[in-house]
Amino acid sequence: MKIYEVFKKETEYALRGLVYIQLQNLNELRPGIAEIASEVETPPHFMAKILQRMVRMGFLESAKGKNGGYSIHPAQGTLSLKKVVSAIEGNNLFEGCGFGLKACDENHPCPLHNSYAPIRDAINKLMEEETIQKLAGTGKEELIFALNRKS
Amino acid sequence: MKIYEVFKKETEYALRGLVYIQLQNLNELRPGIAEIASEVETPPHFMAKILQRMVRMGFLESAKGKNGGYSIHPAQGTLSLKKVVSAIEGNNLFEGCGFGLKACDENHPCPLHNSYAPIRDAINKLMEEETIQKLAGTGKEELIFALNRKS
DNA sequence: TTTTAAATGGACAAAAAGGTCCATTAGTCA
DNA sequence: TGACTAATGGACCTTTTTGTCCATTTAAAA
């Protein structure tokens, strides 16, 4: 019986990585894969793959060679969680019925549709308002602690 | 890039199957695997496996042989979605931080914890209040239609 | 009691997610 | 330029989830 999580591992690791990178960028630093994976406690090779994808998606910039590493792409001055999540997982979380009980829309709502709608709206709001920058901006030490802490 | 869904297939199929069974039980009928799988459009052998598990978990009763089939277990007069979901997927959806950003509790909340808490509470409420019986009780045809309809 | 209908259980297969490894490429610095 | 450093990309592996098949068991009906 698998433990349920809202996000896929890939998404979770991506978010943690992005926040850590942003945090280091604030100090003019460009962390590399080894450092990032170690600090946010993810499998390093897997994190490498994920960061590559973030680069391709335009969320990150990367620099090779000595003193290389990652930084948040300048064009992503405010990078909402929704952007990241929907880029990786698609946007069914934000648009779908949420219960997967077959196709259902405003015209043909499934029995759960109307009860779920406000929840979906709240998720949308939260994920649109919350950004990587905000997460990296408040209470840094506690944040990293929270990101790092083992269960 | 996989399409995100709130539930695992197993859970989704289980819920659809349970609702259909309850609906038939209201007419003193005990549907069998073939009928159930066909009506709620799930892979029949996979549905068989899932219904077996529902029996073992005490949600269903089964009868072998001619005119056999499944019925909601008498002890489950009101069977909440939460009971079913948590039996299959565990209850992280109902208790966890929801964002999987590492361990986080009331004392050491992660940065998203407090914004997500009301959403988690709303999910809990919905899933506790909604039952298989309620879903099978209102607007039967439309319900089955919704359960059946292709996207 | 024989036939028939149905669930059961276990083995197996396919696809997706999660994770690892390594050779290559592209920079930096001495 | 040569040595070093770090990201890149592709191949590969493992685990979980999803799905299939079939022989067996159990019960009802003829």
Instruction: Determine the residue of chain A that is closest to B131 in CA distance.
Output: A112
User: What confidence tens digit (pLDDT) does each residue in B20-57 have?
Assistant: 999 999 999 999 999 999 998 899 999 999 999 999 99
Q: How far is CA B108 from CA A132, A148, B72, in A?
A: 20, 12, 42
Q: Are A43 and A37 in contact (CB under 8 A)?
A: yes
Please report the pLDDT score of residue A7 as a whole number. 84
A5 confidence band (pLDDT: 50, 70, 90) = low
Helix H or strand E encompassing A60: strand A60-63
- Evaluate whether B86 touches A127 at the Cβ level (below 8 Å): no
At residue A106, the pLDDT reads 67
A49 touches chain B (CB under 8 A): no
pTM (predicted TM-score): 0.88
SS3 string, B79-98, reads CEHHHHHHHHHCCHHHHCCC
Instruction: Calculate mean pLDDT across residues A34-44.
Output: 94
Name the least confident of A9-13, A94-98, B132-136: A94-98
The size of the A-B interface in CB pairs under 8 A is 141
**What pLDDT does A29 receive?**
96
Q: Choosing among B2, B6, B123, which should be mutated to test the A contact, i.e. which has the most A CBs within 10 A?
A: B6
**pLDDT (tens digit, 9 = 90+) per residue, A115-139?**
888 888 998 999 999 999 998 886 6
The reply to whether residue A146 touches residue B6, judged by beta carbons under 8 angstroms, is no
Quick check: A66 CB within 7 A of strand C? yes
Of residues A95 and B121, more confidence is placed in: B121
Tell me if B7 and A143 make a contact (CB, 8 A cut-off): no
Point out the nucleotide closest to A46 (alpha carbon to C1′): C19
Q: Please determine, for residue A3, whether its predicted confidence score (pLDDT) is greater than 50.
A: no
Say if the Cβ atoms of A146 and B92 lie within 8 Å.
Answer: no
Nucleic strand C under 7 Å from the C-beta of A44? yes
**What is the pLDDT, as a whole number, of residue A113?**
75
Q: What is the pLDDT of residue A116?
A: 84
Q: What residues of A are in contact with residue B142 (Cβ under 8 Å)?
A: 108
Does at least one atom of strand C sit less than 7 Å from the CB of B58?
no
Å between B81 CA and nearest CA of chain A: 11
Give the span between the Cα atoms of A123 and B130, in whole angstroms: 20
- What is the mean pLDDT of the segment spanning A41-53? 97
Residue A38: enclosing H or E segment and its boundaries?
A: helix A33-40
CA A43 to C1' C20, in angstroms, rounded, equals 9
The pLDDT, as a whole number, for residue B137 is 80
The answer to whether A60 touches A54, Cβ cutoff 8 Å, is yes
Residue A112: which pLDDT band, with cuts at 50, 70 and 90?
Answer: confident
Residues above pLDDT 70, as percent of chain A: 78
- Transcribe B21-90 into DSSP letters: HHHHHTTT----HHHHHHHHT--HHHHHHHHHHHHHTTSEEEE-STT-EEEE-TT-SS-BHHHHHHHHH-
Cβ of residue A122 closer than 8 Å to a chain B Cβ? yes
Q: What is the mean pLDDT of chain A?
A: 83
C-alpha span between B120 and A115 (Å, rounded):
14
Do A147 and B7 count as a contact with CB atoms less than 8 A apart?
A: no
For B91-132, how does the pLDDT look when each residue is reduced to its tens digit (9 = 90+)?
A: 777 776 655 555 566 666 677 777 888 888 999 999 999 999
B59-97 pLDDT per residue, tens: 999 999 999 999 999 999 999 999 999 999 887 777 766
Positions in chain D where some atom is under 7 Å from a protein CB:
4-11, 16-22, 25-29
Q: What is the CA radius of gyration of chain B?
A: 17
CA dist B74 → A126, B61, B77, B85 (Å): 41, 8, 6, 19
